[in-house]
Chains A and B, each alone.
Chain A
Amino acid sequence: AQKVTQAQTEISVVEKEDVTLDCVYETRDTTYYLFWYKQPPSGELVFLIRRNSFDEQNEISGRYSWNFQKSTSSFNFTITASQVVDSAVYFCALIAGGTSYGKLTFGQGTILTVHP
Chain B
Amino acid sequence: NAGVTQTPKFRVLKTGQSMTLLCAQDMNHEYMYWYRQDPGMGLRLIHYSVGEGTTAKGEVPDGYNVSRLKKQNFLLGLESAAPSQTSVYFCASSRGQTNGYTFGSGTRLTVV
Residues of chain A touching chain B, judged by Cβ–Cβ distance below 8 Å, are 4, 9, 33, 35, 43-45, 47, 50, 52, 91, 95, 101-109
Contact = CB atoms under 8 A, between A and B. Distances in A.
B97 A95 contact: yes
Q: Size range of the interface on B?
A: 20 to 34
B41 interface: yes
Contacts of B58: 103
Contacts of A9: 40
Interface in B14-69: 31, 33, 35, 40-45, 48, 50, 58
A102 B45 contact: no
Contacts of A107: 42
A45 B90 contact: yes
Contacts, number: 52
B72 interface: no
Top 8 closest pairs, chain A to chain B, by CB: A102-B97, A106-B42, A45-B103, A106-B43, A108-B42, A47-B100, A50-B100, A33-B98
B5 interface: no
Contacts of B75: none
27 contacts: A4-B42, A9-B40, A33-B98, A43-B88, A43-B105, A44-B103, A45-B90, A47-B101, A50-B99, A50-B100, A91-B42, A102-B48, A102-B50, A102-B94, A102-B96, A102-B98, A103-B45, A103-B58, A104-B33, A104-B45, A106-B35, A106-B42, A107-B42, A108-B40, A108-B42, A109-B40, A109-B42
B6 to A, nearest CB: 10
Contacts of A102: 31, 48, 50, 94, 96-98
